[in-house]
Amino acid sequence: MSTDAPISAPISLPPASASSKLDAKTFQRLHPRAYLERFLSEGIRPDGREPNTWRDVSLNTGSISTAEGSALVRLGTTTIVCGIKAEVAEPELGRPEHGFIVPNVDLSSICSPKFKPGPPGEEAQILSERINAILIQADVVPTPSLCIHPAKACWVLYIDITCINYDGNAFDACLLAAIAALRATHLPKPTFDEETERVTCSRTEKLPLQVKCIPLSSTFGVFDSKHLLYDPTAFEEPLLETSITVITDEKQQILSSSQLGLGPRGDSTVLERCTSAAIERRLALEKVLNEI
């Protein structure tokens, strides 16, 4: 009979690196502000960028075959798809020679846990209103060019913008996707019959949409009154004191600048820095647009 004591199985411990990652994620979740402060004190951000570095942008058009025009934009991991649908409608009585542009942004629960199922939330409605405002202000697509026959028929462009994955700075990505989709849009050639007052659209001939202006936006965040963060992520956005968006046109002129939240304190040059950086950023975005 054997008298050897049973040998217990060795206990395997997780590698130190895995334990450190777990601790870092817990600290990030429980103390997000302190977590960001520690990174910025070293001149870097949690995603590895420096404060004044933008995320990479990629752009593709024509991904939706059933749309008159479409675009897919990736800003870092924020992913936006935009489709343009056109319908014939009757113009407004007070604007008989104008068509319509109707943008709509969808931030579904699929793209981020922060958004709930159901009708569009407040953030999606605000984005839709901001996109609509800049399209009208910049006269991106002149509404008279959408008129088919005065007081009888016009085009309605539905600009449906959907977020597939949300990681911050949705406005910049949504505007870029909308502009790229509009530039890629071709409408069937319409013919208005005076006798029947009906519009017939050609199945073979399509005309490019008239895009007059190309506004592009650059968004910045101010953290702890002293850190200016280019292109904030979803983790950084709730921690910001203010968000600044600068919109430029193809002449590198400032169309508008807007600020959400408290103003930056102790640095009167913040807006100037944002303006200068937005002009440089536009050059990079134009290069992406012109490559498609």
Look up the CATH number of the domain holding residue 199.
Answer: 3.30.230.70
Q: Is residue 251 part of a domain?
A: no
Q: Is residue 267 part of a domain?
A: no
Residue 53, pLDDT > 60, answer yes
Q: Is residue 130 part of a domain?
A: yes
Q: Is residue 67 part of a domain?
A: yes
The model's confidence at residue 21, banded by pLDDT at 50, 70 and 90, is low
Residue 153, pLDDT > 70, answer yes
Closest CA to 237 of 246, 229, 249, 247: 229
CB 157: neighbour CB atoms within 10 A? 24
Domain count, the chain: 1
Q: Is residue 13 part of a domain?
A: no
Q: Is residue 286 part of a domain?
A: no
Please compute the mean of the pLDDT values over residues 230-253 and round it to a whole number. 96
Comparing 82-96, 106-120, 175-189, the range with the smallest average pLDDT is 106-120
Q: Is residue 154 part of a domain?
A: yes
* Antiparallel, parallel or unpaired: β 227-230 and 242-248: unpaired
- State how far the Cα of 126 lies from the Cα of 105, in Å rounded to an integer: 9
For residue 136, what are the domain limits? 57-208
The tokens describing 17, both together, are 């690196």
In the prediction, which pLDDT does 27 show? 83
Q: Is residue 233 part of a domain?
A: no
